[in-house]
Amino acid sequence: MFGIRKYDNKMVNKGASIVKGRSLWIDARRRLFQNKAAVTALFLLIVISLLSIFGPFFLQHNFSDTDWGSIYQSPNLQTGHYLGTDGNGRDLLVRILYGGRLSLSIGLIATLVSVFIGVIYGTIAGYFGGKLDIFMMRVVEILYAMPYLIFVIILMVVFGRNIYFLFLAIGAVEWLTMARIVRGQTISLKEKEFIETSKALGQSDLLIIIKHIIPNLAGPIVVYITLMVPSVIILESFLSFLGLGVQEPLTSWGVLISEGSREMEAAWWLLIFPGLFMVITLASLNFIGDGLRDAIDPKEY
């Protein structure tokens, strides 16, 4: 009898561990780390991020130091200018790392702003439905019809070229896709039994949205963030290329690429190395986004 009880307890514990292993996020993490491309991209992104944050502290040259004897110097390990210098004798590697800080910050912060607006907007439209949903979606469609790049340029021209406003300006026009994604997911979720049960228990609409709807949107939101950051970085780079983005003495990868394109014939390294950092970062983010999408979506398996 005691042997049977002991055997049953083992079976219960084993069953409990199996159930625990079926968690969505545990399975998603396992699938993500089985994706070699996504893991490699994650490693490269971490390396570039750490270099951008801490790298300048370990280099002998400062961000704004000018070396008039090393103007347009090609990459040289002996002088410490590992990736060369620009037309003012400033070390290119240090400027790339500082530019990485700003480009990644703009990409992340502007994306979070757009996600915040899009999640709130899309959840309200999808949950309450009816005429409110129709009106809110018509507003989204009207904004979609406007070239958002021109809208950002207008905002920058009217309100000035402030770096903090650049975060908000880009985020304020990139939330439309997030709103539509969240709306569709919310419409599907609000018909689920656990939502009906929450309503029957007398929970308020606000509590249901915060406690049940938004947490179940975490998967699409995470995937969207990884795919949105590259597009924001590209948009900032394009604005900087036009002279409407980051201004001196600050720099970003877009600014460096813009400067490098003008000096490409005389100093090829000014375009190649910033472009290489940017390409690796954007490709890594896209591979991570694809890996997360495949890992979170159970239909893929």
CATH number of the domain to which 248 belongs? 1.10.3720.10
More confident residue, 114 or 238: 114
Instruction: Please state the pTM of the whole predicted model.
Output: 0.76
In which domain, by residue range, is 201 found? 38-59+83-300
In a domain, 294, yes or no: yes
- pLDDT by residue (tens digit) across 162-199? 667 777 777 777 788 888 888 988 888 888 888 888 88
Domain count, the chain: 1
pLDDT level of residue 159 (50, 70, 90 thresholds): low
Does a structural domain hold residue 4?
no
122: in domain:
yes
Give tens-digit pLDDT for 201-228. Answer: 888 888 888 888 888 887 788 878 887 8
* 6 lies in some domain: no
Report the pLDDT value the prediction gives residue 299, as an integer from 0 to 100: 55
Residue 67 lies in a domain: no
Between 157 and 105, whose confidence is greater?
Answer: 105
Note whether residue 45 is domain-resident: yes
- Mean pLDDT of all residues in the chain? 79
Across residues 149-155, what is the average pLDDT? 71
Residue at 68 is within a domain: no
188 part of a folded domain: yes
Amino acid at 135: F
Tens-place pLDDT, residues 9-46:
444 444 444 444 456 667 777 888 888 888 999 999 99
